[in-house]
């Protein structure tokens, strides 16, 4: 028997699929009109739409399979993201042992703690215990060259790629007053609003952008694109408020907040890429670069969103 919550989840994904069908149709028409000419903007748009199809299917499958599948999905996202983060930064022999700990112990244990809902530990496991463990593990090879930088690199990678991202499946553990909906809707709301902000900033920037926000850190981001994307994504959050316990004003304020933190997340990760002299974190997702290129905004917005809900609605 299909419950009302499951039916509404199906309906939600049907709406998103319909939007992607429309976007794919527009992209196909634009490509046909371009003919033999290769238009980079159209090609990039179609690549992004195709990537969104893949991401929607994977996310839908994880949601339909249940909580364990959803947690495993984000554990894999953390794994790929951390791999990309570490691969762009120089490592030495003394880093191998702490990296083994990070990949084979920290990631699975953090998500296991989320699964059993041990908030008291998963909220401090990486910021406290792993923070202390990484430099201790680095002592094994007695390699003191750039010791502080190397330790900080691994600590920062685990914080961003594992700790912050794990707050998305942790939303399923929240016990909210006066909210009868499925907790998975909270994760959907967050992902859709923040990701929509990224896409809409790109579109508004291409259509109206004139003034650069941070020409060195991210040359493609403009003030017009930023404002247009955040405003439109906030409006989307308001229209999707039925997925949350928020009223209109709360949905607007929280939508604005997560979009702003998402923007700064992307800017911070861009600063790291510029420091390493690369455009993308990887090529895992066609049209989107690497995993970190797609989730950089979620990294910063997920913990904020989680704690807003936990402290004000629990």
pLDDT at 40: 66
Mean pLDDT of the chain: 86
The answer to whether residues 101 and 175 belong to one domain is yes
Report, as an integer, the average pLDDT of 222-238: 90
271 Cβ contact list (under 8 Å, min separation 6): 217
Report, as an integer, the average pLDDT of 225-245: 91
How far does Cα 192 stand from its chain's mean position? 10
> What number of H helices and E strands is found in the chain?
13, 2
User: How far apart are alpha carbons 163 and 71 in whole angstroms?
Assistant: 13
The answer to whether residues 155 and 289 belong to one domain is yes
pLDDT at 19: 75
pTM of the model: 0.87
CB of 197 closer than 8 Å to CB of 297: yes
**Residue pLDDT, tens place only, 88-147:** 887 888 899 999 999 999 999 999 999 999 999 999 999 999 999 999 999 988 888 889
The answer to whether residues 93 and 206 belong to one domain is yes
Q: Which helix (H) or strand (E) holds 156?
A: helix 147-158
Q: Is 143 helix (H, G, I), strand (E, B) or coil?
A: coil
The answer to whether residues 140 and 268 belong to one domain is yes
pLDDT-derived band at 34, boundaries 50, 70, 90: low
The answer to whether residues 244 and 110 belong to one domain is yes
**Residue pLDDT, tens place only, 64-91:** 778 899 999 999 999 999 999 998 887 8
Which tokens is 258 given? 């997560």
- Answer with the one of 47, 65, 83 that is the final residue of a domain: 65
φ/ψ region of 218 (left if φ > 0, alpha if ψ in -120 to 50, else beta) reads beta
DSSP string, 62-86: HHHH-HHHHHHHHHHHHHHHHHHHH
Length of the chain: 314
Terminal-residue alpha carbon distance, the chain: 30
Percent of the chain with pLDDT over 90: 43
The answer to whether residues 99 and 35 belong to one domain is no
Q: Which domain holds residue 115?
A: 66-312
**Residue pLDDT, tens place only, 247-277:** 999 999 999 999 999 999 989 988 888 888 7
The answer to whether residues 52 and 95 belong to one domain is no
Name the least confident of 10-19, 148-157, 185-194.
10-19
The answer to whether residues 32 and 83 belong to one domain is no
Q: What angle do CA 111, 76, 70 make, to 5 degrees?
A: 65
* pLDDT tops 90 at residue 161: yes
Percent of the chain with pLDDT over 70: 90
Report, as an integer, the average pLDDT of 32-61: 71
The answer to whether residues 167 and 195 belong to one domain is yes
pLDDT-derived band at 6, boundaries 50, 70, 90: low
The answer to whether residues 89 and 26 belong to one domain is no
pLDDT at 41: 63
**DSSP conformation class of 128:** I
Scanning the structure block, which residue is given the tokens 């593990």? Answer: 137
CB of 293 closer than 8 Å to CB of 281: yes
- Answer with the one of 65, 89, 118 that is the final residue of a domain: 65
Which tokens is 122 given? 């998963």
pLDDT-derived band at 1, boundaries 50, 70, 90: very low
The answer to whether residues 160 and 60 belong to one domain is no
Domain count, the chain: 2
pLDDT-derived band at 27, boundaries 50, 70, 90: confident
User: How far apart are alpha carbons 292 and 165 in whole angstroms?
Assistant: 11
pLDDT at 2: 46
Which tokens is 261 given? 């933190």
The answer to whether residues 152 and 243 belong to one domain is yes
- Answer with the one of 65, 80, 109 that is the final residue of a domain: 65
pLDDT at 288: 57
Report, as an integer, the average pLDDT of 162-169: 96
């Amino acid at each position: 028997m299909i419950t009302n919550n499951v039916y509404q989840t199906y309906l939600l994904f049907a709406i998103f699929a319909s939007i992607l069908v429309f976007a794919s149709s527009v992209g196909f028409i634009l490509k046909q009109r371009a003919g033999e000419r290769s238009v980079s903007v159209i090609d990039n748009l179609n690549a992004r739409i195709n990537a969104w199809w893949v991401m929607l299917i994977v996310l839908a499958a994880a949601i339909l399979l249940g909580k364990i599948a959803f947690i495993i999905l984000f554990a894999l996202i953390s794994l790929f993201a951390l791999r990309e983060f570490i691969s762009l930064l120089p490592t030495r022999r003394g880093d191998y042992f702490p990296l083994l700990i990070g990949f084979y112990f920290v990631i699975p244990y953090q998500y296991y703690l989320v699964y059993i809902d041990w908030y008291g530990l998963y909220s401090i496991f990486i910021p406290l215990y792993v923070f202390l463990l990484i430099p201790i593990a680095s002592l094994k090879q007695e390699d003191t060259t750039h010791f502080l930088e190397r330790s900080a690199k691994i600590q920062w990678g685990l914080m961003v790629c594992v700790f912050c991202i794990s707050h998305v499946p942790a939303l399923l553990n929240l016990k909210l007053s006066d909210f009868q909906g499925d907790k998975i809707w909270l994760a959907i709301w967050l992902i859709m609003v923040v990701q929509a902000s990224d896409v809409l900033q790109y579109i508004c920037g291409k259509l109206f952008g004139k003034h650069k926000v941070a020409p060195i850190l991210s040359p493609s981001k403009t003030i017009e694109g930023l404002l247009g994307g955040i405003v439109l994504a906030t409006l989307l959050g308001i229209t999707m408020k039925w997925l949350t316990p928020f009223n209109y004003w709360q949905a607007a304020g929280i939508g604005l907040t997560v979009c702003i933190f998402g923007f700064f997340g992307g800017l911070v990760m861009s600063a790291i890429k510029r420091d390493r002299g690369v455009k993308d974190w990887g090529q895992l997702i066609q049209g989107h670069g690497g995993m970190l290129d797609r989730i950089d905004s979620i990294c910063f917005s997920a913990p904020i969103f989680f704690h807003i809900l936990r402290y004000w609605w629990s």
